[in-house]
């Protein structure tokens, strides 16, 4: 069902829906200037759709944010697709979502080609090592920023702490299977709140089938393995942002050996400093595995669930927000995802090898936490320092 178009003579109604070329232009503009991750994307979408164009009212926009946060995958990307659906229907959702994603994808694949080249310039290696050294601090900032709201909304303190601890431990030790911990935490909370129907056994069987799917990806060739990693990122991760890092790191570095630990740190840094969705990091992993085809495949697979959720269920978003089972599931998966973000800082810090990288990490922690400096500027500054250090002749990680 397409969204209803308000009567043009209703002064309280949003403005008439725009031409498709307008959606392409405006969502493409946000994709080009959307540095800073989800908070920046939400602000830009609100300024466009609520404040300037009045395509949506403020209440509907806030409801859409809440509904997208209940879905797995990149919430700000889903919000961008939803807003485009709301103002121009399914065709608009496809056009707006693609316009929002493509600019950052082009930039990050170009940078991936530079960073992953056989013999990149010395300053490029230094910039990557410097920016990568600050990445664990970004993970700590991302996790701590979510702790307060989640703690205030907890239903049961002991269970909340247990889910948080499980996420930290899983991210730090069993990265490829983190998705099972996230899903398991949600299912346990469903059962604890007695919101889980009799079909719980079928749900559990589906969760336990995930290792079999992973095994199939291992034996099905590089592209299928890339698709499996990207699918976990796009469809099975709750919390978005940095929760995808441990889902990718163990696969890309330890299991499939597509990247070194240093290259993976660079990939995460690239995902933070390029515009558009942070989930674009998965395109660098795909590029490392299978070149341009792998990068494009990873991006398509990772973002397809977001389009699917909106195209098939956008007109049910108001019900999703009020759904007791959905909220109960997120009460378990949410703190586990926050724990995974914090746990990812441990695995990312383990990848640092040079003393000067630890110094950059310490400075980044100070800038991001007590001084609350911006992520993009902090990473760019760390990269600049790394480039200078490399040109001065310091040892670089391998």
Q: What string of pLDDT tens digits covers the 398 residues of the chain?
A: 555 555 444 545 556 779 999 999 999 999 999 987 888 899 999 999 999 999 998 888 988 887 888 888 888 899 999 999 999 999 999 999 999 999 999 999 999 998 887 778 899 999 999 999 999 999 999 889 889 888 998 889 999 999 999 999 998 888 778 888 988 999 999 999 875 554 444 444 444 344 444 444 444 589 999 999 999 888 877 766 678 888 888 889 988 999 999 999 999 999 888 888 888 999 999 999 999 999 999 999 999 999 999 999 888 887 777 788 888 888 898 899 899 989 989 989 998 999 999 999 999 999 999 999 988 899 999 999 999 999 999 999 87
What's the pLDDT score for residue 211? 44
What's the pLDDT score for residue 232? 87
Rounded distance, CA 79 to CA 374, Å?
23
Q: Indicate yes or no: pTM above 0.95.
A: no
What's the pLDDT score for residue 208? 39
In the numeric block, the tokens 């178009």 are attached to 5
What's the pLDDT score for residue 14? 52
What token pair was written down for 95? 């056009």
Rounded distance, CA 358 to CA 242, Å?
20
């Amino acid at each position: 069902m397409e969204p209803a178009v308000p009567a043009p003579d209703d002064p309280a109604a949003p403005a008439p829906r725009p031409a498709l070329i307008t959606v392409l232009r405006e969502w493409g503009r946000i994709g080009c200037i959307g540095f800073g991750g989800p908070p920046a994307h939400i602000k830009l979408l609100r300024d466009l759709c609520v404040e300037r164009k009045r395509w949506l009212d403020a209440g509907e926009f806030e409801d859409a944010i809440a509904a997208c946060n209940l879905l797995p995958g990149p919430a700000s990307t889903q919000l961008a697709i939803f807003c485009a659906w709301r103002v121009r229907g399914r065709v608009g959702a496809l056009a707006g979502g693609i316009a929002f994603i493509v600019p950052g994808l082009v930039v990050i694949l170009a940078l991936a080609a530079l960073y992953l080249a056989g013999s990149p310039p010395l300053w490029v290696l230094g910039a990557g090592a410097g920016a990568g050294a600050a990445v664990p601090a970004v993970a700590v900032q991302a996790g701590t920023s979510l702790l307060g709201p989640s703690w205030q909304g907890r239903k049961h303190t002991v269970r909340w702490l247990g889910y948080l601890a499980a996420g930290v431990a899983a991210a730090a030790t069993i990265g490829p299977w983190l998705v099972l911990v996230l899903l398991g935490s949600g299912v346990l909370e469903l059962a604890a709140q007695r919101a889980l129907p009799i079909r719980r056994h079928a749900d559990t069987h589906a969760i336990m089938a995930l290792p079999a799917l992973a095994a199939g990806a291992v034996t099905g060739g590089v592209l299928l393995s890339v698709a499996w990693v990207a699918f976990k990122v796009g469809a099975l991760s709750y919390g978005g942002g940095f929760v995808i890092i441990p889902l990718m790191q163990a696969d890309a570095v330890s299991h499939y050996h597509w990247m070194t630990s240093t290259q993976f740190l660079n990939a995460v840094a690239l995902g933070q400093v390029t515009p558009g969705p942070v989930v674009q990091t998965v395109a660098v992993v795909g590029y490392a595995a299978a070149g341009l085809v792998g990068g494009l495949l990873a991006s398509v697979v990772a973002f397809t669930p977001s389009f699917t959720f909106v195209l098939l269920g956008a007109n049910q978003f108001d019900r999703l927000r009020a759904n007791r089972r959905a909220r109960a599931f997120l009460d378990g998966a949410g703190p586990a995802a926050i724990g995974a973000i914090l746990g990812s800082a441990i695995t990312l810090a383990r990848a640092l090898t040079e003393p000067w990288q630890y110094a950059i990490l310490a400075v980044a922690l100070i800038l991001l936490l007590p001084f609350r400096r911006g992520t993009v500027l902090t990473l760019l500054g760390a990269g600049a320092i790394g480039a200078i250090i490399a040109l001065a002749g310091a040892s670089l990680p391998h």
